Structure 1
Amino acid sequence: MPDAACGPLILGASGQVGYFLLQRIGADARACSRRIPPWAGPFTAGWQPLDLWKDTWPSPWTQLISAGPLDACVAWLERSGPGALRQIVALGSMSAVHKQASPSQEERAVAQRLREHEQRLLAFAATHAIQCTMLRPTLIWGAGLDHSLTPFARRAARRGWALIPSGARGLR
């Protein structure tokens, strides 16, 4: 088990939200991910390897920011216990609400899983007297780490225009 620092433990730190969080919080945070991303550069001392699906150690930190997959965070917390946690901020998704009535069975299943894991996290927090805040963003991009919107935006910027099909009838 790693030693605790005064800042928060950040799960999913190698993603887009983690990228910006680490720039704001800096060295006070302990960044966790299965692997240290290439953009971490020389600042890898604050990184803790952690596989949320396999590893088990109770958190010596009092603050947790979950910026990665919510289901993995919940699985790790339920397996490891509360440790010293007193406050959790976790990212969910507005898809938990907006995709409930989707014509796509797969999207409805995603919405159901998101709601289930939100409820499990809130129940875990309540059971252990931990303050918990769920955030439900709609779209996260900007660090250039995604493989959907960023390539589209880059192509549009290079060309000076974006191709949008006139008959597009997407599920969003």
Structure 2
Amino acid sequence: MTVLVSGATSQIGRFLIARLALTGVPVVAISRRPQPPQAGVQWRTGDLKTVLAADLNERWRAIVSFSPMDAWADWLEAQAVAPAPRIIATSSMSVVTKQGSAQSDEQQVVARLQYGEDELARQAARLGMAYTLFRPTLIYGAGVDRSLSPIVARARRLRLFPIPMANGMRQPVHADDIAQAVLAALESDAVDGKVLEIGGGERLDYMQMFRRVHASLGGGALPLYLPLSALRLLAALLPRARGPVSRLQQDLIADNRALVSLLGVHPRAFQPDASTWTPMTPEQARARLGGGAR
């Protein structure tokens, strides 16, 4: 029976549809833009509502969403019958770590995430669907993230790599490890109705994380160490930097104990190389898996 994947071209989606295809599970994948053919995957082009309206009579083995949760919650609210026995979706640890932000845009992010979590859970329960929500930390691995990969791209152009001298702990998690957690959740009722945090297999401070990213480039960009005083001055001059700078000394980490005990998933340590920052297509993700699961 088919698994529907929303947000299939996201960094997690690229690894998940590769793993589903490799295990022989048929996939219907939603993308806003046309995608090249991929074995085992039926692509549906359009936004979520358009695709679901066209496939309204379909019933799937499960729904996996890397799209905004509120969009799914709103769609489920209009349904009288469950479209699948199970839905698995990703939220973000930002719902916890940005709770105290003084920036209105970040408050809006938290509010949207919290609404999405609460309403998706409510609608799933109303329809009798099992649900599992994952809250990842900083995601990397497919070269399409909006956090570390843009910094790498800029450093390669400018030949200068900024390294903030901050001590807040970070726990970057590889997109493929989240994909593996989703696969495990598809086969387990132990995580029904649960919200699971998922971070990488290693915690390191902010400066150490940036040093590893810089080392992964293999030269070509000089390190530029930025003291906290300079970053705080930047935040005073640039309002949009205030939130990120205010969290440089804050620990943004996850508790993986439930993930490990319930699903047996052990995320990898943070060991990037130059290829980590190169954008990867779903087919390349499948090739990188070497024809089978890691």
Question: Which TM-score band (shorter chain)?
Answer: 0.7 to 0.9
The question of whether the paired residues in 1 share the 8 Å contact of 2:82 and 2:128 is answered with no
Kindly indicate whether residue 19 of structure 2 is the aligned counterpart of residue 20 of structure 1: no
* Matches of 1:58 and 1:90, distance apart in 2: 22
2:78 partner SS? helix
Matches within 5 A, 1:9-158: 9-26=4-21, 28-37=26-35, 41-43=36-38, 46-55=42-51, 56=53, 57=56, 59-80=58-79, 82-154=81-153, 155=156, 156=214, 157=217, 158=219
Query: 2:78 and 2:50 mapped to 1: Cα distance?
Result: 9
The structure in which a higher percent of residues are helix is: 2
Stretches of structure 2 that go unaligned for 5 or more consecutive residues are: 157-213, 233-244, 248-294
Deviation at 1:22, TM superposition (A): 1.1
Q: Which has the larger radius of gyration?
A: 2
The alpha-carbon distance between structure 1 residues 117 and 164, as it changes in their structure 2 partners (threshold 3 A), is: farther
Displacement of 1:75 = 2.6
Shift, 1:82, TM fit = 4.4
Judge conservation of contact 1:58–1:83 (CA < 8 Å) in 2.
no
Taking only aligned residues, the RMSD between alpha carbons, in angstroms, comes to 2.3
Residue 54 of structure 1 deviates from its aligned partner by: 4.5
Q: Aligned residue pairs: how many?
A: 164
Q: 1:47 Cα deviation (Å)?
A: 0.8
Q: 1:31: Cα distance to partner?
A: 0.9
Distance 1:35 1:15 in 2: 12
* Structure 1 residue 62: Cα displacement: 2.6
* CA positional deviation for 1:139: 1.5
TM-score (norm 1): 0.82
TM-score by length of 2: 0.50
Shift of 1:116: 0.8
Letter of the 1:110 partner, please give it: V
Displacement of 1:83: 3.9
Tell me the equivalent position of 2:3.
8
What's the secondary structure of 2:59's corresponding residue? Answer: coil
Judging changes above 3 Å, is the alpha-carbon distance between structure 1 residues 59 and 72 closer, same or farther for their aligned structure 2 residues? farther
